[in-house]
Amino acid sequence: MTRYAVRVHPGELHFNAAHFITFDGVCENIHGHNFHVCLEAQGDNTGDAFVIDFVQLNALAAKICAGLHDGVLLPAESSEVSITRRDDGLLDVRSYDRRFILDERSCILLPVPNTTAEMLARHISDRLLAELAAADALGNLQLLEVAVEEADRQWGICRREIGHD
């Protein structure tokens, strides 16, 4: 059996953002990272002898990364973090013994339970698959892997199998 894949390494696939995570009953302080993203798409080659268009994959992923750049990433689906919008344009963010008051314009609420590298990879893969589907560009794609590097050589990875009807 022959398998094919394309891999896109960081270049324009990066974003700088702040976040915190919760674990073991603790909430970290807000801190920032220079996140990098790597993609791998696996599947059968199309009639044009490629798995997926590199240019389109890279462009869509770069657009998603740009939407995460320069913000405070907040987990909108967390059971351990409460986020309350105030009338003055601020967000009151609470978790365990931490409370952050943040300008809503600086925050990016994500549909994830925690802003770990793995959940950021999941979010990016969700958005990327939706964009590819909307562009009718999934082709013969069978697996999409999105990896997010939070610190040197520390990656959170989400692998998604793609079913075709």
Q: What is the CA radius of gyration of the chain?
A: 17
pLDDT of residue 45: 83
Domain that holds residue 11: 4-161
- Separation CA 103–CA 100 (nearest Å): 10
pLDDT tens digits along 93-102: 999 999 999 9
- DSSP assignment of 147-159 equals EEEEETTEEEEEE
Residue 145, domain CATH: 3.30.479.10
Give the pLDDT band (50/70/90) at residue 128: very high
> Which residue bears the tokens 């920032």?
32
Query: How many domains does the chain contain in total?
Result: 1
pLDDT tens digits along 59-112: 999 999 999 999 999 999 999 999 999 999 999 999 999 999 999 999 999 999
